[in-house]
C-alpha cells in the first residue's frame, strides 16, 4: 500500500514545511503566552522574553556564536538588506566599494543596485560554467576603499557552495567585513562563524523547517566589532539594530527548528544526498540529452538543477502539477518568461536554460516519492518530446547511432 500524499513536494528551496515539533512549541505563544517580550513589569512579558532568549541561545549554538550576536528579523530578505545597507551607510567614510557575485539572491543584488544609485561602487564577480567563484578574483578585486564582501554560502537555484572559510580568510587578511547569505546552507551544511571568519550572516526560519516571517542576522561583536546603521528607527529592540515588537511565536518556532537541525543535520544530509543521487541517476538513465547545471561535488546534498533538452520547463511542470510541486529557474522569477539569471551567468545556452527544472529535496521526502518522480518525469519528457516538431527534426538529422562505415 502506498502512503504517498500528493502533490509530492520537491520545492524545498522555495520554502520548507514547518516541522510539527516546532509547531507544538509555538502554539502556547498564540494562546496563553501572548505577552510582549519587551514588557518589563509582568509575568507575561517575562515569559515571552524567556522564550525569545531560549531561541536565541539555540540559534547561537547552531552557528557557534554568542547569544547577543543574533538579531531577529522578518527573514533573510531583511537580514541581507540590514547587513549590506547597514555596513555601507555606517562605514561610508572608510570607503564606498562592495564586492558581491552575479549569482547572489535578488535581495542581495537589488540592495547593491540601490546602493550604486547612492554613490557606492559594486563589483559583481563572475562565476565559471559550474557556478564556482575564482578565489584569486575575489582577492584581486579588493581595493583600498573596499568595505564589504557579500558572498552566499549556497546558491538557491543550483545549490552550488562557495568556499566560505577561504573567503573569510581573504576578507580578514584584507581587513574587509565579510557577509554571507547562508539561508539555503544552514539546514544541511555545518557553518561556524568563528572558524570561518564570518562577520555577518543572514538566515531564514522557513528555509529550515521553521515558520515564515522570521529570520536572523548574525552580527560579530569582537575581533572586530561590526557596527550597522539600522533600517528601522523606533523602540530600539534587538540591541538597537531592529526596532519593532518581536514575533515571539515565530522566534520560538525558529529556535526549535535550529535545535532539530543541530541534532539531525549530519545524518539528514547523508540521507538527502542518497535521495538526490537516486533521482539524478534515475533521470539520466531514463532520458537522453539531460544536463545537470552547476558543480556536482561542491553542492548542497538536496539540490538537483537539470535541463531537459527540447522541452519547455513550464510545459513540463504544468504537465505534472497535480502530482509534483517543482520550480523552473528561480521561484521569484517564475512570473517572467526570462530564463534564470543564474543559469545565464553559468553560460547555459538560452535554449537549454528554458528547459531547466529545480528539484529541491527535503526532510519529508521518501525513496518511494523519488521513484515516483523519476517515472513521472521520464514519461512526461518523452511525451513532450514526441509531440515536438523540433525534436522530431533533430532525431531525423542525427538518426539512430550508425556504426562507422568506411568507403
Ligand atoms: C529564500 C532566500 C532568501 C529570502 O529569504 P526570506 O526569508 O524569504 O526573505 C534570501 N536568500 C536566499 C539564498 C534564499 O534562498
Pocket probe for ligand 1: among 156, 329, 358, the residue whose CB has the most ligand atoms within 8 Å is: 156
Pocket probe for ligand 1: among 18, 71, 76, 358, the residue whose CB has the most ligand atoms within 8 Å is: 76
pLDDT of residue 335: 57
Distant-in-sequence, close-in-space partners of 220: CB < 8 Å, separation ≥ 6: 65, 69, 193, 198, 199, 200, 226
Q: How confident is the model at residue 399 (pLDDT cuts 50, 70, 90)?
A: low
* Residue 177: strand pairing partners: 148
Does residue 406 register a pLDDT over 50? no
- Residue of 301, 256, 298, 258 lying closest to 277 (CA atoms): 301
What is the per-residue DSSP string for 80-145?
HHHHHHHHHHHTTTT--EEEEETTS-HHHHHHHHHHHHTT-EEEEE---TTS---HHHHHHT--TT
Evaluate whether 326 touches 313 at the Cβ level (below 8 Å).
Answer: no
Within its chain, how far is the Cα of 138 from the centroid?
21
Global pTM value: 0.95
Catalytic residue among 101, 112, 258, 332: 332
Q: How confident is the model at residue 393 (pLDDT cuts 50, 70, 90)?
A: confident
Let me know the angle formed at the C-alpha of 115 by 241 and 152, rounded to the nearest 5 degrees: 70
The answer to whether the bond into 7 is cis (omega within 30° of 0) is: yes
Does residue 404 register a pLDDT over 70? no
Residue whose CA is at the smallest distance from ligand 1 atom 10: 76
Report the relative pairing of strands 215-219 and 200-204 from DSSP bridges: antiparallel
Classify residue 67 by its DSSP letter. G
| Annotation says 101 is catalytic | no
Q: How many CB atoms neighbour CB 354 within 10 A? A: 22
Q: Does an H or E element contain 181, and which?
A: strand 177-181
- Residue of 305, 381, 371 lying closest to 340 (CA atoms): 305
Task: Please tell me the distance from the alpha carbon of residue 74 to that of residue 50, in angstroms, as a whole number.
Answer: 20
Domains of the chain and CATH, by start:
8-14+265-395 (3.90.1150.10), 20-261 (3.40.640.10)
Q: How confident is the model at residue 339 (pLDDT cuts 50, 70, 90)?
A: confident
Which cell goes with 177? Answer: 567585513
| pLDDT tens digits for range 6-43 | 999 999 999 999 999 999 999 999 999 999 999 999 99
Task: Please tell me the distance from the alpha carbon of residue 36 to that of residue 177, in angstroms, as a whole number.
Answer: 34
Least confident of 79-88, 175-184, 396-405: 396-405
* Mean pLDDT, range 305-332, rounded to an integer: 90
The rounded Å distance from CA 330 to ligand 1 centre is 11
Cβ of 152 less than 6 Å from ligand 1: yes
Amino acid at each position: 500500500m502506498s502512503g504517498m500524499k500528493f502533490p509530492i513536494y520537491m520545492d524545498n528551496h522555495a520554502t520548507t514545511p514547518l516541522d510539527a515539533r516546532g509547531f507544538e512549541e509555538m502554539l502556547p505563544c498564540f494562546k496563553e503566552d501572548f505577552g510582549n517580550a519587551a514588557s518589563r513589569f509582568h509575568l507575561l512579558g517575562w515569559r515571552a522574553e524567556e522564550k525569545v532568549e531560549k531561541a536565541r541561545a539555540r540559534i547561537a549554538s547552531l552557528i557557534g556564536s554568542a547569544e547577543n550576536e543574533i538579531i531577529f528579523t522578518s527573514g533573510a530578505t531583511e537580514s541581507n538588506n540590514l547587513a549590506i545597507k547597514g555596513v555601507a551607510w555606517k562605514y561610508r567614510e572608510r570607503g564606498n566599494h562592495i564586492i558581491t557575485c552575479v549569482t547572489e539572491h535578488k535581495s542581495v543584488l537589488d540592495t547593491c543596485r540601490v546602493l550604486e544609485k547612492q554613490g557606492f561602487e559594486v563589483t559583481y564577480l563572475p562565476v565559471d560554467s559550474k557556478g564556482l567563484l575564482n578565489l584569486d578574483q575575489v582577492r584581486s578585486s579588493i581595493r583600498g576603499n573596499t568595505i564589504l564582501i557579500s558572498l552566499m554560502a549556497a546558491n538557491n537555484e543550483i545549490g552550488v557552495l562557495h568556499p566560505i572559510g577561504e573567503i573569510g580568510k581573504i576578507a580578514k587578511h584584507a581587513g574587509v567585513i565579510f557577509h554571507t547569505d547562508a539561508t539555503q546552507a544552514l539546514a544541511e551544511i555545518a557553518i561556524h562563524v568563528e572558524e570561518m571568519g564570518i562577520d555577518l550572516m543572514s538566515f531564514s526560519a522557513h528555509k529550515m523547517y521553521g515558520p515564515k516571517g522570521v529570520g536572523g542576522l548574525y552580527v560579530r561583536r569582537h575581533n572586530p566589532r561590526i557596527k550597522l546603521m539600522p533600517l528601522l528607527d523606533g523602540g530600539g529592540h534587538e540591541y538597537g539594530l531592529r526596532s519593532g515588537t518581536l514575533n515571539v511565536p515565530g522566534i520560538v518556532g525558529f529556535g526549535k527548528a535550529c535545535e532539530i537541525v543541530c541534532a539531525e543535520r549530519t545524518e539528514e544530509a547523508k540521507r538527502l544526498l542518497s535521495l538526490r543521487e537516486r533521482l539524478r541517476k534515475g533521470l539520466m538513465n531514463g532520458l537522453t540529452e539531460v544536463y545537470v547545471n552547476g558543480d556536482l561535488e561542491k553542492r548542497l546534498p538536496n539540490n538537483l538543477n537539470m535541463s531537459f533538452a527540447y522541452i519547455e520547463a513550464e510545459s513540463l511542470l504544468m504537465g505534472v502539477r497535480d502530482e509534483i510541486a517543482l520550480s523552473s529557474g528561480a521561484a521569484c522569477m517564475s512570473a517572467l518568461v526570462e530564463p534564470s539569471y543564474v543559469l545565464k551567468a553559468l553560460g547555459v545556452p538560452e535554449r537549454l536554460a528554458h528547459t531547466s527544472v529545480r528539484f529541491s529535496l527535503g526532510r519529508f521526502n521518501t525513496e518511494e516519492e523519488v521513484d515516483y518522480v523519476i517515472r513521472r518525469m521520464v514519461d512526461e519528457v518523452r511525451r513532450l518530446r514526441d509531440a515536438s516538431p523540433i525534436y522530431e527534426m533533430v532525431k531525423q538529422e542525427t538518426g539512430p547511432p550508425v556504426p562507422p562505415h568506411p568507403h
